[in-house]
Chains A and B, each alone.
Chain A
């Protein structure tokens, strides 16, 4: 594999950039693999990379019905954080933060990880108390957390509405200085390129049509490009999880919903890190290109449409305008939607299943992107060793039956409340 560096850049400039090697190949599927990952998004590609790198499993394939990185890894708002209260989520994601910090170097691909901090704003004394508690929990797990008062928040975001007559005045906020953003596409491409260089077959435009199962054991997968034998299958298909579960006669604690995001026209540097509004569901950051990147609520009803509905966007941006009045003068550049695998307690699932050789990785709700490296790392361990790693031992599929839920903020689909 060609190494990316300033020297290779200069060298290729002399040939008008016509002689770069392809970053990953386009192989025909083989008849059999040691393991197959379904889903060529961030998590699937990361899983393949760590299977090859950490577990020396290189006779494996990633199969993807569209093109790699065309789903949620190319549609998210790129936020990376580990500001969780529960031990299981905090340790899992903090391990992920360590992977993020070294990722560009490790992949020899600039993923533009930019740890400029995240501030969750509080708008009442009760919310400040809750954040103090969450911050203390984070620090007990070795995660940086700083409780900011109103004046300290003002230093970070002076353009927010700090007037006295607003409905939800800013009382303060909880900051994780080491949180940040990254270039989402680069994460998928970087993992794909390294996985490919270690011998992983990345097979695009290959849709799963069924599974070969005998006596409770995985024997293979049927695809639009033929049947492939394998003893191990890892599902990493986010918003399509329910559809593949149906082919497996499984019912999961997952509902598929549409989540929208939008960006404004680019403006000069204005906002340093990520800010979330505490009185509504709205978060914002500024991309390296200068666009304000914004998101918030789900559309609110089951959806497989990768596009959103205006009432939700209007509702989300109403919260945004209350926080940052300057947004009213900005033009919207693009809006889009992605389909989320909403788990019923708001936390992900990385586990074995009742079918021997079938492993599942789903339930990422609003925040799959930040966990891409650690999800791949733990899922690769689970598949290769046929047992869960300590880090994902609480992200179990049966926690809904045992009652060991990880209901971090009550962010599940909440369908039972109505």
Chain B
């Protein structure tokens, strides 16, 4: 069981969260001209690193806020969590 520290609610069980994937993926600017490749990269292409991974989680059964989580994809250790607008090193 993962325990994720929501920056709004504190330490909660993983059962309250849903996963939102790689937090480094940037959506192309709205209404801007985008190439097929840019859109492809945004929708489908993922690095999926082994080790440190910066990712999005949604506190679905809690405050319903999206948060950032820095987690290890081998040990599942969670190093840091932050609000969506905050930077994680």
Interface presence of A5 (CB below 8 A): no
Q: Are B47 and A242 in contact (CB under 8 A)?
A: yes
Interface presence of A265 (CB below 8 A): no
The answer for the CA separation of A253 and B49 in the assembled complex, in Å, is 13
Binds B, one of A295-303, A328-336, A364-372: A295-303
> Which A residue sits closest to B56, measured CB to CB?
A418
- Mask, B47-83, CB within 8 Å of A = 1, is 1111001011010000000000001011110000000
Contact of B19 among A243, A301, A305, A311 (CB under 8 A): A301
Chain B residues whose CB sits within 8 angstroms of the CB of A311 once the complex forms: 1, 13-15
Interface residues of B (CB under 8 A from A): 1-2, 13-15, 18-22, 36-37, 40-41, 43-50, 53, 55-56, 58, 71, 73-76
Q: Are B19 and A418 in contact (CB under 8 A)?
A: yes
The smallest beta-carbon distance between A43 and chain B, in angstroms, is 19
Chain A residues whose CB sits within 8 angstroms of the CB of B40 once the complex forms: 400-401
Q: Are B45 and A301 in contact (CB under 8 A)?
A: no
Q: What 9 A-B pairs have minimum CB-CB distances, sorted nearest first?
A: A415-B21, A253-B44, A418-B20, A242-B48, A400-B44, A344-B44, A251-B45, A301-B19, A255-B48
- Given the known A-B contacts A311-B15, A400-B44, A416-B43, are A303 and B73 also in contact in the complex, defined by CB atoms under 8 Å? yes
The answer for the CA separation of A251 and B41 in the assembled complex, in Å, is 9
Chain A residues whose CB sits within 8 angstroms of the CB of B37 once the complex forms: 401
Chain A residues whose CB sits within 8 angstroms of the CB of B56 once the complex forms: 418
Chain B residues whose CB sits within 8 angstroms of the CB of A416 once the complex forms: 21, 43
The answer for the CA separation of A58 and B2 in the assembled complex, in Å, is 48
Q: Are B73 and A305 in contact (CB under 8 A)?
A: yes
Interface residues of A (CB under 8 A from B): 242-243, 246, 251-256, 300-305, 309-311, 344, 400-401, 413, 415-416, 418
Q: Are A251 and B73 in contact (CB under 8 A)?
A: no
Q: Are B74 and A304 in contact (CB under 8 A)?
A: yes
Chain B residues whose CB sits within 8 angstroms of the CB of A305 once the complex forms: 73-76
Q: Are A304 and B73 in contact (CB under 8 A)?
A: yes
The smallest beta-carbon distance between B73 and chain A, in angstroms, is 5
Q: Are B55 and A302 in contact (CB under 8 A)?
A: yes
Q: Are A243 and B50 in contact (CB under 8 A)?
A: yes
The answer for the CA separation of A256 and B49 in the assembled complex, in Å, is 9
Q: Are B18 and A418 in contact (CB under 8 A)?
A: yes
- Given the known A-B contacts A311-B15, A400-B40, A418-B56, are A254 and B73 also in contact in the complex, defined by CB atoms under 8 Å? no
In the complex, 7 of the A-B residue pairs with CB atoms within 8 angstroms, ordered by the A residue number, are A243-B50, A300-B19, A302-B53, A302-B55, A401-B40, A415-B19, A418-B56
The smallest beta-carbon distance between B38 and chain A, in angstroms, is 11
Chain A residues whose CB sits within 8 angstroms of the CB of B20 once the complex forms: 415, 418
- Of residues B18, B22, B45, which shows the largest number of chain A Cβ atoms within 10 Å of its Cβ? B45
> Which B residue sits closest to A412, measured CB to CB?
B44
The smallest beta-carbon distance between B15 and chain A, in angstroms, is 6
Q: Are A254 and B74 in contact (CB under 8 A)?
A: no
The answer for the CA separation of A242 and B22 in the assembled complex, in Å, is 14
Q: Are B36 and A303 in contact (CB under 8 A)?
A: no
The answer for the CA separation of A302 and B21 in the assembled complex, in Å, is 8
> Which A residue sits closest to B43, measured CB to CB?
A416
> Which A residue sits closest to B75, measured CB to CB?
A305
Chain B residues whose CB sits within 8 angstroms of the CB of A254 once the complex forms: 46, 48
Chain B residues whose CB sits within 8 angstroms of the CB of A253 once the complex forms: 44-46
The answer for the CA separation of A138 and B2 in the assembled complex, in Å, is 41
The answer for the CA separation of A253 and B73 in the assembled complex, in Å, is 18
The smallest beta-carbon distance between A281 and chain B, in angstroms, is 15
Q: Are A310 and B21 in contact (CB under 8 A)?
A: no
Q: Are B15 and A256 in contact (CB under 8 A)?
A: no
- Given the known A-B contacts A310-B1, A418-B20, are A252 and B45 also in contact in the complex, defined by CB atoms under 8 Å? yes
Chain B residues whose CB sits within 8 angstroms of the CB of A418 once the complex forms: 18-21, 56, 58
> Which A residue sits closest to B71, measured CB to CB?
A301
